[in-house]
Amino acid sequence: MLSLVACIISVAQSGDVLTTLEGSYSASSVSPNFDPIKLQTINAKVFELIEKDQLKTPSEYLRAAKLISEFRNSFETSRIKHELILCALAGGEEKAKTAIGQSWDMFLISTGREQQIGSIKIPDEPKFAISPAPKSIFSVISNPAKAVEQAAKAKSDEEVTKICDDDQAVRQQDWSKLTPKQMGDLVKGDKARLKRTIELLEAGRIVTAEDFDHASLVLQHGSTWRDYSLAHELSICSLLLGNKKAAWLSAATYDRMLGSGGYRQRFGTQYGSVGNGKFSLDLVDPTGINDSERKAMHCPTLEEAKNRKWD
């Protein structure tokens, strides 16, 4: 009973802090009272709430994210904002649906890449150039409500489903026992499935939450940042269309994408080994993220991830 009382008090305190910060943000974020120093202080307070694991609900994740100011589009700041909105979306926070596109664009810009959705509109500024996402992805992220209506009238694509089934089937075997030729054939199969999935995406045949989930699973077995970022976008679309099970895949594609770009993972979903050696958790950057967020994305705690047992 004491632990429950302590939890209630903690939630109430975090809510009070957020309310206070929201007041300060409103007073400091618009002209003529724009105050970047105060906004930086608010950023620090939000990061402190995260470090102390005081944000617990989807609503609190979104409220905290909206308080974060991105003065220089810094990677460290943009990723925290995107992660919070991801967690809010995974938890069913309705308002996160209209925030995820911008947080994704800002994250991409912070890595030196072009935005995909085009939510940051600054003409004639190369830094904010747009490299449009495939139309199917853009349609879902830019107008989730309409996409839900369209998906409800559609059936999952049989070819997309089969490609995903084939992709998963080859991963049920013991790879350590495969010959070099068999491994080569497996890699060729992955490339062919990825290529065909992108063709189906471009053709507008990926429509339902299940389609987007299946396509994301296939794309995360690619080899480049583009493959993994596309997989992440696809998993976000599946979440937006109501597939709560896509939360883990959103975290996994995000982690895999970060690793491919030379960054450390965040949610703790990626493992590796040297040769046929023992699998271990790839390096994690734990700053500005916590286990409550990992649980929100259907991931184990960091300690559980480190101690995972392999058959």
Tens of pLDDT along 98-113?
A: 999 999 999 999 999 9
Residue 277 binned pLDDT confidence (cut-offs 50, 70, 90): confident
Average pLDDT over all residues of the chain: 93
Please answer whether residues 231 and 252 qualify as being in contact, where contact means their C-beta atoms are separated by less than 8 angstroms: no
224 or 173: which leads in pLDDT: 224
Residue 309 binned pLDDT confidence (cut-offs 50, 70, 90): confident
Residue 13, token pair as written in the block: 């305190």
Separation between Cα atoms, residue 270 and residue 11, nearest integer Å: 31
Q: Stretch 53-65: mean pLDDT, rounded?
A: 97
pLDDT tens string 63-90: 999 999 998 889 999 999 999 999 999 9
pLDDT > 90: percent of the chain: 83
What is the 3 state secondary structure string of the chain?
A: CHHHHHHHHHHHHHHHHHHHHHHHHHHHCCCCCCCHHHHHHHHHHHHHHHHCCCCCCHHHHHHHHHCCCCCCCCHHHHHHHHHHHHHHHHCCCHHHHHCHHHHHHHHHHHCCCCECCCCCCCCCCHHHCECCCCHHHHHHHHCHHHHHHHHHCCCCCHHHHHHHHHHHHHHHCCHHHCCHHHHHHHHHHHHHHHHHHHHHHHCCCCCCHHHHHHHHHHHCCCCCHHHHHHHHHHHHHHHHCCCCCHHHHHHHHHHHHHHHCCCCECCCCCEECCCCCCCEECCECCCCCCHHHHHHCCCCCHHHHHCCCCC
In the prediction, which pLDDT does 214 show? Answer: 98
In the prediction, which pLDDT does 216 show? Answer: 98
In the prediction, which pLDDT does 183 show? Answer: 83
Residue 29 binned pLDDT confidence (cut-offs 50, 70, 90): very high
pLDDT tens string 178-193: 788 888 888 899 999 9
In the prediction, which pLDDT does 2 show? Answer: 36
pLDDT over threshold 60, residue 240: yes
Question: Which pTM value belongs to this model?
Answer: 0.92
pLDDT tens string 134-163: 999 999 999 999 999 999 999 999 999 999
Residue 244 binned pLDDT confidence (cut-offs 50, 70, 90): very high
In the prediction, which pLDDT does 311 show? Answer: 57
